[in-house]
Amino acid sequence: MAASRSGLARRQYGVATLFVAPFFVLFFVFTLAPIVYGGWLSLHREQTSGLGFGGEPEQVFVGLDNFTKALTNSTFLHGFATVGLYCAVYIPVMIAIAMVLALLLDSAYARAKRFFQLALYLPNIVPGLIAAMIWGYLYTPGLSPVMQALEQIGLPFTVTSDSGAVGAVANLAIWEHTGYNVIIFFAALQAIPREVIEAATVDGAGQVRTAISVKAPMIRGAVVLAVLFTVIGAMQLFTEPFIVRDTATSIDIGWTPSMYIFDLTRHYDLGGAAAASLILTFVLAVASFAVTRFSRKGATL
């Protein structure tokens, strides 16, 4: 009897291993191996021999010199300040808009829900080239009807200043990613037991009170997940400023850490790029931990 149980257990473990093995293989190939290789690169610098007259490039061990240069580089550090300001503007506004739209779609008075879900999600799948053309036009003074309308009502807006560039990039990201989070929140709202909503209605709660006091707190997990993913994506900000860089003249190649790393790779400074990437990875890990820790504390209050 014991032998048959041990045989059954081995078969179960074998089947489980068969199913989880692809994950660990992919995790090693596409996550652990690049990190290890990046760590090796960050400790080396490529240089050529021959006293400037050519020669084969070789990897020279420099220890933590690449990390020191990155941490003392004002452009790299300023990129973190820019991203911090961007997160402070973009994340609360985007999450709030997505939550309100999801609650409206989930209300009893909403019509054509499928249509509005598709319409809100469409900006998320717009190709980068099309987005660049659209927002380049909308942010160009003298051409954009939006800029002209703001000037006429006494609210001039320019993307040439640092604050204007942050607002312009945040606005583009809100347009692009709000619909995605609306779908996430709406799916979470659909999972709320209907008897809970009916109980709130029986107790005399209206649509607004039910949305604020019942629905919103019950999708806290989805909100925390959206904030976590948004923080991770926002800290790696690259695409949006790269799209509007021709119009927003204050955006240079080191405006964010990711753009700074991209510029290092263009100049074949792979060791410096690897060191800066590992620093950014560490900051992302700390930010992710802070978000999850704060959400747990909030849940216990």
| pLDDT per residue as tens, the chain (301 positions) | 555 556 556 666 767 778 888 888 898 888 888 888 989 989 888 776 655 555 566 778 888 899 999 999 998 999 999 999 999 999 999 999 999 999 888 876 667 778 888 888 888 888 776 777 788 778 777 777 777 777 778 766 677 677 778 888 888 889 988 999 999 998 898 888 888 877 877 777 777 788 888 888 888 888 988 998 899 888 888 888 887 777 766 777 778 899 999 989 888 888 999 999 999 999 998 988 888 887 765 555 4
Which of 139, 149, 152 lies closest to 244 in space, CA to CA?
139
Q: What is the pLDDT of residue 278?
A: 93
Write out the residue limits of the CATH 1.10.3720.10 domain(s) in the chain: 73-267
Q: Which fold has domain 73-267?
A: MetI-like fold (1.10.3720)
C-beta separation of 256 from 82 below 8 A: yes
Which residues are CB-neighbours of 272 under 8 A, at least 6 positions away?
A: 45, 66, 69, 70, 264
The one-letter amino acid code at 187 reads A
Q: What is the pLDDT of residue 52?
A: 53
CA distance 142 to 127: 25
Which of 104, 87, 267, 69 lies closest to 169 in space, CA to CA?
87
C-beta separation of 175 from 240 below 8 A: no
Q: How far is CA 284 from the centre of its chain?
A: 10
Which residues are CB-neighbours of 153 under 8 A, at least 6 positions away?
A: none
- The 3-state DSSP class for residue 59 equals strand
Q: What is the pLDDT of residue 108?
A: 63
| Backbone conformation region of residue 142, classed left if phi is above 0, alpha if psi is from -120 to 50, else beta | left
CA distance 205 to 220: 20
Q: What is the pLDDT of residue 299?
A: 52
Please give the structure tokens belonging to residue 118: 């598709």
C-beta separation of 67 from 281 below 8 A: no
The one-letter amino acid code at 178 reads T
Which of 118, 244, 222 lies closest to 170 in space, CA to CA?
244
